Amino acid sequence: MTDFFPLGDITELITKGTTPSTLGGGFMSSGINFIKVESISDGGVILKEKLAYIDEATHAKLARSILRKDDILFSIAGAIGRTTRVAESVLPANTNQALAIIRVNQSKACVDYVHQCVQGDAFIKTCSDKSVKSAQANVSLGSMAKARLYLPPLAEQRRIAEILRTWDEATETAEAELKAKQGRKRGLTKKLLMPSAEGDGALRMNCWDVYKICELCDVITGSTPSRTNSEYWNGGSIPWFTVDDIRKGGRAIHNTIQHVTEKAVKESSLRLMPADTVLLCCTASVGEYAITRLPITSNQQFNGLVIKSEFKDKLSADFLFNVASTLKEKLKAFCGKTSVDFVSGSNLKSIQIPLPPLAEQRKIAEILQGADSDIETINHRIESLRTQKRGLMQKLLTGEVRVAA
């Protein structure tokens, strides 16, 4: 264990920020960059469009959390483990209490190497295991300082960081390609399903019939079985769908993370949704959508749109799935001014959607599914790169495999 050292031993400081309002400040429309957890992507990129801003006076009051080049930010509340390295281009900048600031002593450790270490599953698990028990998961700065890192000589640290950075760069390239493909899909969707008033598409759409959702579909509401009843969950074989399945498995759901038993379906007001049910999220992440490829149940975040039997030969489920991607703003308009967004079943039923001839529906769905297929291929490549990197990290950041400097 002589090559393992507490993070606190190789840093100049480990601290965190403060909410500006605590010191009488507030957010501005422009000014000093203020980085929050949501300002950092899962891949560790600072998203400029999600930065907040404070004025210079507030920035000066928040002296403890004024960021420097090469500071490592690590989220310690909510989405634990999201991390980035502060670049010169983002400065001047500050942050809040949800992000820890790790300032490496560069005479003792390589910043790139430490940044790779804190991204590792072992470090995140160590911090998460010691998280303070509260309504929202969080990690104490003390537990971070005590977390031990494998620390080979500086030259080897730099070489290891260089190797792992190669995988990061490949992932970033794939993510940029993914973003471009997603933009192309949005453009196609707008052109095919939301044409401008003066375009040729609008003339075509004017010939389509328009129906309320309730005329085309039965709307099924989801439910959550009791978590304390093991008979509802243990050994369950019926997929139970939540918004996490969209985030982890994509919008076209082939399988789900959790399963419930037949007993749960019978006793917990659950409804079995057949294959080709289009799911629309009506709480929290309003407008998220998916389509089932096998019978499933869902929680109360979702309403399922099941095509009525009399429209089976007039409405394509795949077309309905793509229409769902255009409904977010309409659903948002129904949300009340409460702490949680909510769209009632009656409001959902009242939304109108266009219905072209079945042959045209299928052609539109075919075009958009081609775009989805491209997106899915890139997502698989990104996941493969991340899996490969995790394997390398396990070997290189523990000393299992040594690297010549």
CATH number for the domain spanning 143: value is 3.90.220.20
- Residue 257, pLDDT above cutoff 80: no
Q: Are 118 and 84 in contact (CB under 8 A)?
A: no
- The CA distance from 361 to 322, in Å, is 10
Residue 250 tokens read as 């994509």
Could you tell me if residue 200 is inside a domain?
no
Could you tell me if residue 193 is inside a domain?
no
Q: Examine the domain organization and report whether 159 and 262 are in the same domain.
A: no
- Residue 171, pLDDT above cutoff 50: yes
Residue 283 tokens read as 């709480």
Full domain range(s) for residue 337: 209-355
353 Cβ contact list (under 8 Å, min separation 6): 210, 211, 213, 216, 320, 323, 327
99-125 pLDDT, tens digit per residue, is 999 999 999 999 999 999 999 888 888
Mean pLDDT of all residues in 2-14: 91
317-340 pLDDT, tens digit per residue, is 999 999 998 998 888 888 865 566
Q: Are 355 and 311 in contact (CB under 8 A)?
A: no
Could you tell me if residue 313 is inside a domain?
yes
- The CA distance from 147 to 123, in Å, is 7
For residue 381, count other CB atoms closer than 10 A to its CB.
17
- Total domains in the chain come to 3
Could you tell me if residue 192 is inside a domain?
no
Q: Examine the domain organization and report whether 343 and 260 are in the same domain.
A: yes
192-251 pLDDT, tens digit per residue, is 887 665 555 565 667 888 999 999 999 998 889 999 999 999 999 999 988 888 776 567
Residue 337 has a pLDDT of 55
- Top pLDDT among 104 and 376 is at 104
With a pLDDT cut of 90, the percent of the chain lying above it is: 58
Could you tell me if residue 362 is inside a domain?
yes
Residue 254 has a pLDDT of 65
Residue 341 has a pLDDT of 77
Q: What is the mean pLDDT of the chain?
A: 88
